[in-house]
Amino acid sequence: MKKFILFVLMIAVFSTVWLYITERGGLLPIADFSPEVSFTEKNGVVTMHWTPLPYPCRYEIETFSKTTGRLTGGEKHPHHFASGKTTDTSFSVPPTAIPMFYQLTAYGFFGKLAGPFSPATHPAYTEPYAPDRILHYTEDAPASRKPFLVWHPIPGAVCYEVEILSAPPEKEGGIELSDKNHLFSTQRVYTNGWQADLTDWENRSVFYWRARALTLEKKPIGEFSRAEKIVVSASVPVPDAPLINTFVRMPNDYPLLYPVYQWIPMNDILRYEVELLYSPPGEEYVKKPVPDRAWYHIANDSFSCYDEYARRDPGDYYWRVRAVDEDGETIGRYSETATFYVPETTGRPYAAAYGDSITHGGGALSYSPANREYDYMTYLDFPAMNLGQSGDTSRETLTRFDEDVLPYRPYNLIILTGSNDLRSNRPAEDIIDDLAKIKKKCEDNDIRPIFLTLMPIHPKNIYTAFRTETDDGWRAKLSKINAFIRKQEYYIDLEPYFYDNTKSMLDGPLAIDGLHPDIQGKMLMAELINAHRDLFREP
C-alpha cells in the first residue's frame, strides 16, 4: 500500500513538473495563436464564442467601454466594468446598453498563457448606429397580428421611427422610407420597443420591419436597421399585456433606493397601473389585482413609473403592470411578474450618491433611472449606492436625509442638489442654507460630505423639452451656490467642464433636455469623480 501511495505521489510530482515546464518554458504552440471570436443572441442574452487554445485553459473575459476623452485631450481610455471566468469556450457577456468591447485572456495551471487578445466589439453597436433587433419571428416561431418589436436602444436617441413593409426595401439602411414596399410608419415610439398592429392586412402572413433612432427634433441618428422578416400566424394569440422591459441593462447594477418600473406599452394604450408585491402572485397573467399588494400607482406616461417610496428593506420584491381604462378596469391582463432584490447592508457602505434626478438617473427625455447607462454611478471606479430621488429641490434633499441616508451611514456621501432650484425663483441663499445643513448632518454622523458643483443649464432646451420657463437669474444663483461649494473642504468642480463653446450655457450634446446629462455627460461626471479619489475617506 505504501508503495502504491508513493507511486501516486511520484506521478503527481512528475505531472506537476511537466505541466510547469510546458507552460513556463514556452513549449506550447500558442505564440501565433489568435482566437476567432463571434457572438450569438437570443431574447437579449448575448453569448460570446471563441476558438479554444490547444491546451486546457480557463479564460477570463473582461468588459470595457471607452471614456469620453474630455479630460485627456481627446484620447479615450478603457473603462473597466466587469470580469468573468470560464473553462468553456463561450460566455454570456454582461448585458449592455452602450458600445462595449471584450478582452479574452487564457490562463493555465501556473498563470497567464496568452492574451489579452485583440478586443472584440459588441455586435449591437456597429457604426453607423442602427437598432439591433432582440425579438425575432420566424416560420418556427411566428408572431400574432400584434407582435412586440424590440431592439437594442441607440445611445442618445429620444425616439424611434418604425416602418412596416410588404417586402424588403429597395435599399437597406439609409434614412428614407421605402417608396414601393412601405405599408405603415410611426415616429411616436419613445422606448426600445413597440407593439405593432398588423390587423389591417388580414390576408398577409409575411411582413418586414425596421427601425431608426431620432433626436428630439426628429433628425436621424445613424440609419435604419436591416429589414427583418415577420412571419404571422392566425393561431398565435394576440398579446394583451404590456411587456416588461428588462432586455437591456448594464453590468454591476445596484438597486435604486427609489425604484423605477418600465415596460413596452400596448399599442395605442396610454394608461397603466403598476403593483408591487412582497411575494410572488399566486397566478400569472390575471385581470384582477391581489388583495394584499404592497403598493400600486397609476403611471402618468405609457412606459415607466417612478416609485415614490424608498425600498430599503432587504429581500425580494415583485412587480407587474396592467393597462387600465378610466374606471381602473384592466384592459387585457397583467404582464408577467418581474422581480428585483434589495441586498442586506452589512456594515457601512464605502460611498453613496445623494441628490435629485441628476443623481437618480435618466436622460435624453425618454430614459428613466431604470436605464442605468444614464446613471453616473455606473461609470465610477468604486461601488456607490444610489440614494437619488427625481424631482428633489435642495430643501427636499435636506428633509429626507434622516430617513434615506442615516440607515446606511456611508463613509462618503457624494452630494449634488439644487439644479431644480436654479429654474425656480428660490434665492441662492436658501439653497446654500440647505447645503450647509446637509453638511452639518453628515459631520454629526461621521459621514464625509463630498459636494459636486452645480452644472450650468440651457433654458431654451429646457423649454423645448418640458415647456417650462427658467428663472432669468439662474446664472447669478449658480455663481453664488458654487462659490459656497468651492469653500468646502471636500468638493469636486463639475461646472467648468459642462459649458458649450460660448462658455455661457450647458453644452447641448452633453444634455439634450438642457438639464439632465445624458450618457456622455454621466460618463464625464464619473470621470471627474474618479480623478478625485484622494478626497474620499477610506474605511
Residues 380, 468: one domain? Answer: yes
Does residue 301 fall inside a structural domain? yes
Residues 309, 413: one domain? Answer: no
Residues 113, 167: one domain? Answer: no
Quote the CA–CA distance of 539 and 324 in Å, as a whole number: 49
pLDDT (tens digit per residue) in 39-95: 988 877 889 999 988 778 899 999 999 999 999 989 999 999 989 999 999 999 877
- List the CATH number of the domain containing 417: 3.40.50.1110
pLDDT (tens digit per residue) in 350-375: 999 999 999 999 999 999 999 999 99
**What range defines the domain where residue 275 resides?**
243-342
Does residue 214 fall inside a structural domain? yes
Quote the CA–CA distance of 101 and 66 in Å, as a whole number: 9
Residues 358, 446: one domain? Answer: yes
Does residue 1 fall inside a structural domain? no
Does residue 4 fall inside a structural domain? no
Which residue, among 242, 321, 311, 330, has the nearest Cα to 281 in the 3D structure?
Answer: 321
Which residue, among 255, 228, 57, 264, has the nearest Cα to 143 in the 3D structure?
Answer: 228
CA distances from 19 to 54, 112, 114 (A): 14, 13, 16
Residues 485, 369: one domain? Answer: yes
Q: What is the pLDDT of residue 23?
A: 47
Q: How confident is the model at residue 326 (pLDDT cuts 50, 70, 90)?
A: confident
Residues 84, 227: one domain? Answer: no
- List the CATH number of the domain containing 90: 2.60.40.10
Residues 114, 262: one domain? Answer: no
- List the CATH number of the domain containing 250: 2.60.40
Q: What is the pLDDT of residue 11?
A: 62
Q: Which residue has the cell 420591419?
A: 209
Residues 320, 433: one domain? Answer: no
Which residue, among 412, 355, 410, 413, has the nearest Cα to 388 in the 3D structure?
Answer: 355
pLDDT (tens digit per residue) in 23-38: 455 555 566 778 899 9
Does residue 162 fall inside a structural domain? yes
Does residue 2 fall inside a structural domain? no
What is the tally of structural domains in the chain? Answer: 4
Neighbours of 128 (CB within 10 A): 13
Residues 6+ apart with CB under 8 A from 203: none
Residues 399, 468: one domain? Answer: yes
Residues 337, 355: one domain? Answer: no
Residues 395, 506: one domain? Answer: yes
Q: Are 368 and 358 in contact (CB under 8 A)?
A: no
Of 204, 231, 258, the position where a domain reaches its end is 231
Residues 325, 363: one domain? Answer: no
pTM: 0.92
